[in-house]
Structure formats: C-alpha cells, structure tokens
C-alpha cells in the first residue's frame, strides 16, 4: 500500500469513527494545534509526534478520555505560516481505547507539510476556532495550541481575538522554550483565553512529551463547565 496509502486508509478509519457522533453526548470538543513552522526541525517534529502518540497511549490519559457518561470529540491539526494549516486527525468521537489507538495510528502515519514557513499564530487560532464549529454541540470547547515562537507573520493573536467570537471557548497553550526565553510569558499574555485557561510549558523540545501528557490530563479532567483545572503535582 505504501506510506501515503496507509495514511489515507487510517484517515478513513478516523472518519468512520466520527460517523453518527452528532447524536451522541459530548462533554468536550478538544482541538489540538501543533507547530510545524520553520523553527521546528525534523528532530523536534519527531519528538512532538512521538510525544503525542505516547500521551494517547498513557493509561491516565485513556482514563481521562473515557471516564464519565458523555464523551470527548478530538481533533489534531498542524500549523505554520499564512494559509498553511491542515487537519491531521478529523473529528473523532472517542468511545473506547480502540478509538484512541486509531487516532495514534493516524498521527504516526502523518507526514508533515514540506513548506518551512514563519509563525502565523493568529491564523493557527483562527483555523482552530473554525474547526471547533465542526465538532457539534459539545458542552465545552477547548483549543490546545503548542508552539516555540511568537507570531511573526499575519494577524496577531490580539487581532484575531478582536475579530472572531471566542465566547465560551478555552484556549490553552503549550509554549516550547528552545528558541525564545520569554515564550511562556508571551503565551500567558497573548495566547491563552477563556474559562480556566492555562499554559503548560515545555522548557525544551525534549520536555514536550511530558508537557503534552500533563496538559491533556488537566484538560480532560475538568469536571464542571467553566471550572478552573486543579494543578497537577510536581
């Protein structure tokens, strides 16, 4: 079948899992945006890709996805420069460990875009906002953005927030500190937004796997709409 044929088949599995999701109870729509701009080299990308896969296979994350009477809609996309955002995992209603296995397989089979573009963080937010509209009537909606640099092309996050309605949407951030020491301060001041919003810093790319696991666990473990997540130990 080849690499790309395998990828298309796995995306088909994800789309099949999504079928009929609008009729099911959804407690959270969670969209995860991953930075693939030019500052993210091949090694950095592999760390992010494998870190997300490991998080999706972690027992604690699986419990967090699957606990409760209602379910989680989950999607993953990559972003970089202007006009360069693409969905990796279409919306999937997570009902079982097998669904998470399918998501992890799609992430693992994905090949990042070939362009090496600047950091259009405003467009990453805009794309994620529009993507959340496709999740259906979830009780809560969260946009989860990771990145290693400040916006340097296109509309800024502030301009996007001024132009688009993010009412009721929580935007959390995972700033990666390899290239900019002040990136956590930037994400705290300019990126996160909404009820219970927080950042989960990764001081360096090597810290991404632990950071994404902790971040997902924290987002998925919020029990009450609008309640601030309790901090994890450590």
The structure tokens listed for 115 are 């362009």
In this predicted structure, the answer to whether residue 27 has a pLDDT above a threshold of 80 is yes
Domain ranges of the chain: 2-220
**Average of per-residue pLDDT across 43-51:** 96
In this predicted structure, the answer to whether residue 17 has a pLDDT above a threshold of 90 is no
> Would you give the end-to-end CA distance of the chain in angstroms?
45
Q: How confident is the model at residue 230 (pLDDT cuts 50, 70, 90)?
A: very low
pLDDT of residue 160: 97
pLDDT of residue 208: 97
Give this prediction's pTM.
0.86
Distance CA 53, CA 138 (A): 24
How much of the chain, in percent, has pLDDT values that exceed 70?
A: 84
84: Cβ–Cβ under 8 A, 6 or more apart, which residues?
113, 115, 117, 120
**3-state DSSP call for residue 102?**
helix
In this predicted structure, the answer to whether residue 231 has a pLDDT above a threshold of 70 is no
**3-state DSSP call for residue 104?**
helix
Distance CA 209, CA 218 (A): 14
Q: How confident is the model at residue 114 (pLDDT cuts 50, 70, 90)?
A: confident
Task: Tell me which of 3.40.50.300, 3.40.50.410, 3.90.1170.50, 3.90.1150.10 is the CATH number of domain 2-220.
Answer: 3.40.50.410
In this predicted structure, the answer to whether residue 179 has a pLDDT above a threshold of 80 is no
Over residues 62-107, the pLDDT tens digits come to: 999 998 889 999 999 999 999 899 999 999 999 999 999 999 999 9
Distance CA 63, CA 187 (A): 28
In this predicted structure, the answer to whether residue 232 has a pLDDT above a threshold of 60 is no
């Amino acid at each position: 079948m080849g690499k790309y044929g395998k990828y298309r088949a796995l995306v088909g599995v994800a789309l099949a899992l999504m079928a009929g999701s609008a009729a099911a109870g959804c407690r959270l729509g969670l969209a995860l945006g991953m930075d693939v701009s030019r500052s993210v080299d091949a090694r950095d990308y592999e760390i992010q890709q494998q870190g997300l896969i490991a998080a999706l296979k972690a027992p604690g994350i699986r419990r967090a996805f699957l606990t409760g009477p209602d379910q989680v809609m989950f999607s993953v996309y990559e972003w970089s420069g202007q006009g360069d955002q693409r969905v990796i995992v279409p919306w999937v209603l997570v009902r079982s460990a097998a669904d998470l296995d399918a998501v992890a397989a799609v992430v693992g089979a994905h090949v990042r875009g070939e362009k090496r573009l600047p950091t259009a963080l405003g467009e990453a937010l805009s794309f994620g906002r529009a993507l959340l509209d496709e999740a259906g009537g979830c009780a809560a909606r969260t946009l989860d953005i990771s990145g290693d640099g400040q916006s340097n092309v296109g509309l800024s996050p502030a301009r996007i927030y001024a132009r688009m309605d993010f009412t009721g949407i929580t935007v959390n951030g995972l700033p990666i500190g390899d290239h900019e020491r002040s990136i956590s301060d930037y994400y705290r001041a300019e990126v996160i937004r909404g009820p219970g919003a927080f950042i989960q810093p990764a001081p360096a790319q090597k810290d991404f796997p632990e950071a994404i696991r902790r971040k997902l666990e924290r987002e998925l473990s919020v029990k009450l709409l609008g309640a601030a997540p309790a901090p994890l130990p450590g």
